[in-house]
Structure 1
Amino acid sequence: MDYLYYAKEYLMNTYNHLPVVFTHGKGCKLYDVSNKEYLDFTSGIGVMALGRGNEKWIKAVEDQLEKLAHTSNIVLNVPILELAKKLTEISNMSKVFFCNSGTEANEGAIKLARKYSFEKYGKGRNTIITLNRSFHGRTMAALEATGEEELHKYFYPFPEGFKHTDITVEALEEAVDPSVCAIMIEAVQGEGGVNPLSSEFVHKVFEISEKKDILVICDEIQCGLGRTGKLYGFNNYNVHPDIISVAKALGGGLPMGAVLCNEKLKNTFKYGDHGSTFGGNPVCAAGAIEVLNEIADESFLKGVADKGKFIKEFFKNKSFKNIKEVRGIGLMVGIEIKGEASEVQKKIFEKGLLVLTAGKNNVVRLLPPLVVSKEELEKGLNIIYEVIESM
């Protein structure tokens, strides 16, 4: 059966797929239709934090499937209530709204920020500042929030009320005016090139916000839930936002997103302000509980941080001719190269390793499962280094 023909014939042309069709996986390995093995340094773009085939996650999902697959948002179910308690407590937040994806989580965060400002200050205070090189999703408001003009073409007009700024203290201060109700940041910009924000810039965001009652939204969809060796990316800066958006790793492979708010926002949304038919699905929630049980453990997070140091040490001891910079935090790593990252990705794929790209197609991005071993890391890093330096 020619599955690649099916892809060309029946799928819309939204993705530049690598020429492979996978059937199953285990841990950090994937296997294609011919049973060829691949090492995965993408984790489904940060989704499969626990790798494939985690037995506790599978059991939780299977057990819940047998009990109750779906209700609706006019009634409650046990897994979503247990998840709400666990997620808000470990996040040090007050309340949570569940949805299906990262872009939906950011849409919810945008609505929550604007509702808070409208109730407190009235009309005209609804602008949200976001950063150049940011990525916040593909729906219309989240796409306009994204600070990548290349992604905006073809889709005008967008919803109003967003302002993009350079990632400097001076640009931020200039962007803030009486119309601003929130600032949205990623502690580490993933799609934009794996760019950790500077400590000076992050603290200026929070300083300005505190003075002017501007909300801080931290988009933790890619850099959150253990990816940087901390529960959230912003934990690396010793700050705490008003709103957190999460998704990707939360469901462990099932679609799930969430918006968390602090105490001052806990009663902002009223009945009918927001909703989601599948948000809070009991099967997704059962899986998410098992994800949090594992990644919220301090020893697990320390292990992620140690693996991040291992990657940095690997490259520190190498000489480069085609690598410009290796950056990131924990297991969120960007390798900026001289050349096209998509070409490097293809050559790495031919050697049985999956990686991602980012930035202006000049960054090889690594998001391995958080359970990856140092032996697997070393094997993959050697392939990456050899391919890049042989360009």
Structure 2
Amino acid sequence: MSWQDDAGRDLVKSFGDRMAMFVRGEGAYLWDADGNRYLDFLAGIAVNSLGHAHPAFVEAISAQAATLAHVSNYFATPPQLALAAQLKRIAGTGDAGRVYFGNSGAEANEAAFKLARLHGGSDRPRVLALTDAFHGRTMGTLALTGKPYMQEPFLPMVPGVEFIDSTIEALEAALDDRVAALFVEPIKGEAGVIELPTGYLVAARELTARHGALLIIDEIQTGAGRTGEWFAFQHAGITPDAITVAKGIGGGFPIGALITFDTAAELFYPGTHGSTFGGNALGTAVAGAVLAQIESEGLVRNAAERGAQLREIIARIDSPLVSGCRGQGLLVGVGLRQPVAKALVAAAQERGLIINAPNDTTIRLVPALNIGDVELDEFEALFAASLDAVLLTEGHPA
């Protein structure tokens, strides 16, 4: 029996076939069960901010596990309070902000959905989200996810959510005084790393404020420094009412959070939401150490600089398959002229490179925030070779 047989027998089918069996990681590299090494430009889907087995990550887990892991939310712990203050500081909430902790991005968005309902009450039954957005797969967050094919097997959805096009004109037409909240991804990662139109977040802030609606920004994939700012909304110079974070803040440890600003911070009251494991001492200690390491190593700036280098690399790879780049920092989407993204992912893996295809015509690149010249040079060679291999397979000269 192989590991593929074990996975096929024992694991649910919702993820499809596993692509490899990884047994070890270090820095930007993974090793499979056969000892093959891979350059990881997926980083657990924008999760492993510091790469694999970073000493700060390992030390934080070891030290906190040997001290205190979990006591429930009837009690506070020093790592929990420290991380809440840390998140408020880097998000810029000021003293009025508050933080709710969960275990994932979906849980953070569930909390945000309930925040919207508390704000809206019976007078504001409408919640707006964007077409082709992705906010999670739970029944609540799936209702916010603008992908009909994901929703269809689970209809009816939680009511009240309306989807609008990602244009300022659609936003102006849809917003009124019966809207409780607008949910926005600054960059739609699962849609193929699609950026919002220039000025969209500024317009969204002005319009939601005018109509008394909450502006809730999903920073689960874009946060923790990935776009070259701590959070992507900071590029626009605005202040939202709430942001949701997960993925990169834990560096590989499951944790999510809802960060609320100003008056939105006072909407939850005792009994309105909770999580047994959310904000436990172990998770918050690890996330605090990861964020501290991102700050001390200057990795927010590194994401901006290495992201620019990565775009330059893509631009100089002379392949008829590549149509261009999009995204910010180290969240990069490579557009393809043909629907061969899955074939390209497979060709790259054969050559020792891990990348991702969110759709048939896009490659998503989200490496660790601490990559440098060595990893970028290796990526260039492996990605170019993978593109050539796909061209040959498709019957075109390389």
User: Given the two structures, how large is their TM-score scaled by the length of structure 2?
Assistant: 0.94
Task: Return the alpha-carbon distance in structure 2 between the equivalents of residues 354 and 166 of structure 1.
Answer: 32
What secondary structure is seen at the aligned counterpart in 1 of 2:199?
A: helix
Residue 179 of structure 1: CA displacement? Answer: 2.3
What secondary structure is seen at the aligned counterpart in 1 of 2:305?
A: helix
Task: Return the alpha-carbon distance in structure 1 between the equivalents of residues 297 and 171 of structure 2.
Answer: 34
Q: What is the identity, as a one-letter code, of the residue corresponding to 2:99?
A: V
Q: What is the identity, as a one-letter code, of the residue corresponding to 1:83?
A: L
Task: Return the alpha-carbon distance in structure 2 between the equivalents of residues 181 and 130 of structure 1.
Answer: 11
Task: Return the alpha-carbon distance in structure 1 between the equivalents of residues 63 and 18 of structure 2.
Answer: 35
Question: 1:265: which partner in 2?
Answer: 264
Cα root mean square deviation, aligned: 1.5
Indicate conservation of the 8 Å contact 2:26/2:52, yes or no.
yes
4+ aligned runs moved over 6 Å, structure 1 = none
Indicate conservation of the 8 Å contact 2:319/2:387, yes or no.
no
Residue deviations 1:172-227, cap 9 Å, x none? 12222332111111111100110121222222111211211111101000011111
Q: What is the identity, as a one-letter code, of the residue corresponding to 1:357?
A: A
What secondary structure is seen at the aligned counterpart in 1 of 2:13?
A: coil
Task: Return the alpha-carbon distance in structure 2 between the equivalents of residues 132 and 378 of structure 1.
Answer: 37
Indicate conservation of the 8 Å contact 2:56/2:293, yes or no.
no
Question: 1:98: which partner in 2?
Answer: 101
What secondary structure is seen at the aligned counterpart in 2 of 1:266?
A: helix
Q: What is the identity, as a one-letter code, of the residue corresponding to 1:272?
A: G
Task: Return the alpha-carbon distance in structure 1 between the equivalents of residues 295 and 258 of structure 2.
Answer: 18
Indicate conservation of the 8 Å contact 1:22/1:30, yes or no.
yes
Residue deviations 1:75-126, cap 9 Å, x none? 11121111111111221121100000001100101111221232xxxx1303
Q: What is the identity, as a one-letter code, of the residue corresponding to 1:59?
A: E
Q: Please state if 1:228 is matched with 2:227.
A: yes
Task: Return the alpha-carbon distance in structure 2 between the equivalents of residues 181 and 200 of structure 1.
Answer: 22
Task: Return the alpha-carbon distance in structure 2 between the equivalents of residues 164 and 296 of structure 1.
Answer: 37
Task: Return the alpha-carbon distance in structure 2 between the equivalents of residues 51 and 17 of structure 1.
Answer: 24
Task: Return the alpha-carbon distance in structure 1 between the equivalents of residues 164 and 376 of structure 2.
Answer: 36
Indicate conservation of the 8 Å contact 1:106/1:259, yes or no.
yes
Residue 235 of structure 1: CA displacement? Answer: 1.3
Question: 2:366: which partner in 1?
Answer: 367
Question: 1:33: which partner in 2?
Answer: 33
Structure 1 gaps of 5+ residues are none
Task: Return the alpha-carbon distance in structure 2 between the equivalents of residues 205 and 44 of structure 1.
Answer: 31
Residue 3 of structure 1: CA displacement? Answer: 1.2
What does 1:1-391 align with in structure 2 at a 5 Å threshold? 2-93=2-93, 94-118=97-121, 123-297=122-296, 299-337=298-336, 338-358=338-358, 360-390=359-389, 391=391
Structure 1, 164-173 or 317-326: larger mean CA deviation: 317-326
* CA spacing shift, 1:110–1:275, aligned 2, 3 Å: same
* CA spacing shift, 1:386–1:141, aligned 2, 3 Å: same
Q: What is the identity, as a one-letter code, of the residue corresponding to 2:29?
A: K
Q: What is the identity, as a one-letter code, of the residue corresponding to 1:312?
A: R
Task: Return the alpha-carbon distance in structure 1 between the equivalents of residues 350 and 221 of structure 2.
Answer: 26
Indicate conservation of the 8 Å contact 1:231/1:295, yes or no.
no
Question: 2:394: which partner in 1?
Answer: none
Indicate conservation of the 8 Å contact 1:102/1:248, yes or no.
yes
Indicate conservation of the 8 Å contact 1:199/1:237, yes or no.
no
Indicate conservation of the 8 Å contact 1:163/1:175, yes or no.
no
Aligned length: 386
Indicate conservation of the 8 Å contact 1:29/1:37, yes or no.
yes
Indicate conservation of the 8 Å contact 2:21/2:33, yes or no.
yes
* CA spacing shift, 1:116–1:19, aligned 2, 3 Å: closer
What secondary structure is seen at the aligned counterpart in 1 of 2:267?
A: coil
Indicate conservation of the 8 Å contact 1:322/1:389, yes or no.
no
* CA spacing shift, 1:20–1:263, aligned 2, 3 Å: same
What secondary structure is seen at the aligned counterpart in 2 of 1:269?
A: coil
Residue 252 of structure 1: CA displacement? Answer: 1.7
Structure 2 gaps of 5+ residues are 392-398
Residue deviations 1:251-286, cap 9 Å, x none? 221110000101212221110000000001111111
Q: What is the identity, as a one-letter code, of the residue corresponding to 1:38?
A: Y
Task: Return the alpha-carbon distance in structure 2 between the equivalents of residues 5 and 158 of structure 1.
Answer: 35
Task: Return the alpha-carbon distance in structure 2 between the equivalents of residues 342 and 315 of structure 1.
Answer: 18
Task: Return the alpha-carbon distance in structure 1 between the equivalents of residues 221 and 296 of structure 2.
Answer: 19
Residue 18 of structure 1: CA displacement? Answer: 4.3
Task: Return the alpha-carbon distance in structure 2 between the equivalents of residues 299 and 68 of structure 1.
Answer: 30
What secondary structure is seen at the aligned counterpart in 2 of 1:96?
A: strand
Q: What is the identity, as a one-letter code, of the residue corresponding to 2:14?
A: T
